[in-house]
Amino acid sequence: MAAQQNSSPVVLFTSVGRRVELLRSFLRAYESLGMSSRIVALDIDPLAPALQEADIPYLVPRVTSSDYVSVLVEICRNERVSLVFPLIDPDIAVLAANRSVIEATGARVAVIPTAVTEITADKWQTTCFFQDLNLPIPQSWLPGQFLERDLTYPVFIKPRRGSAAQNTFKVRNEQELAFFVDYVPDPIIQEYLPGPEITNDVICDLDGAVLAVVSRQRIEVRSGEVSKGVTIYNPAITAACVKIAQALPAVGPITVQCMMMDGVPYFTEINARLGGGIPLGIAAGVDAPRWLLAKAAGISFDLPQLGSYQTGLYLTRYDDSFLLTESDREQMASHRL
């Protein structure tokens, strides 16, 4: 089998947390390609569930620590890492800023260029970026940039640099807005869009080529991550996502958020990483783990046409558990350099 003639790429995920499904999808992809899995997973917590699925788990300093990059580089060198994927937003700018030192180990970093990390991190800059691409956006203001007559309630307020839907609120009147402008850190105020909300997994390779776009309508969300959803296809959304990925440019997978109103998608956010709901897209036929591993290993594969995935496929999630003894926990806690 041709796949067995290629060495297995070593994939490293930062801040794996609860991303058990994602690691399992990569494990299946290794198997489908006839390769032995080599997944390195990092986290700060020995009880992070996804560490239990990794071939090589490591506990590392927080991404804000002065030691983080040196530890990451040493892990990449020791484990001969091929690909590095961020899984939470705070990791993106750090990986981008230190791309050269990380890639000097032989790894490639699936993260956008440093020059555009601010565009994706700052919701105001994201909105301006979409506007420059002539894409529909909700009306948006910063504090002090609007008159009361500009606003039609309800409006929506969120932090410019927020994540996981923290400190986001529907604001119903002038009194609530006065409160939340002070309460929400560095906020952006936007026209309230009724939805539904569509999350789009835009699968790009590390050279920026768009391999696929899969759209998922959010039905229910918990802590900013989809708990119930369904795949849809909208050609206008797909075309816009390709335009966004090429304009950044994307390096590795990104997710793009939009809200629907009167049948029109209004674009709101970019998360420059693998989205939390991507297992639904994978199940629908967008096998990003397999394609990314095959690319890294130099294995050819057939790429389906954009939009040729299963629509009407529903995801509904539940909690599962790993049970660890004290000695298990201590052993996991010992996985440090």
Angle, CA of 150, 128 and 136, to the nearest 5°:
70
Q: Give the list of residues 6+ apart from residue 30 with CB closer than 8 angstroms, or none.
A: 8, 36, 37, 38, 293
In whole angstroms, give the CA distance from residue 312 to residue 285: 12
**Residue 147's CATH number:** 3.30.1490.20
Strand partners, 190: 140, 156
3-state secondary structure of 227: strand
Q: Which two tokens stand for residue 20?
A: 């058990």
- Are 259 and 163 members of one domain? no
Give the pLDDT of residue 163. Answer: 75
Residues 219 and 97 in one domain: yes
Q: Is 66 exposed, middle or buried (0-12, 13-18, 19+ CB in 10 A)?
A: exposed
Q: Are residues 181 and 315 in the same domain?
A: no
Whole-Å CA distances, 215 to 110, 120, 274, 286, 337: 21, 19, 13, 10, 40
- Which tokens hold the place of 178? 């006065």
CA distance 11 to 40: 6
172 Cβ contact list (under 8 Å, min separation 6): 153, 154
Domain that holds residue 238: 2-120+195-333
pTM: 0.93
CATH label of the domain that carries residue 284: 3.30.470.20
Question: Residue-wise pLDDT tens for the chain (337 aa)?
Answer: 233 445 899 999 999 999 999 999 999 999 999 999 999 999 999 999 999 999 999 999 999 999 999 999 999 999 999 999 999 999 999 999 999 999 999 999 999 999 999 999 999 999 999 999 999 999 999 998 877 777 899 999 999 997 777 889 999 999 999 999 999 999 999 999 988 999 999 999 999 999 999 999 999 988 778 899 999 999 999 999 999 999 999 999 999 999 999 999 999 999 999 999 999 999 999 999 999 999 999 999 999 999 999 999 999 999 899 999 999 999 999 998 8
- Say if residue 101 is in the same domain as residue 215: yes
CA dihedral over 316, 27, 256, 244, signed as positive or negative: negative
Q: How far is residue 311 from each of residues 241, 254, 307, measured CA to CA in Å?
A: 18, 20, 9
> Looking at residue 174, what is its pLDDT?
92
Q: What is the count of structural domains for the chain?
A: 2
Q: Do both 315 and 212 map to the same domain?
A: yes
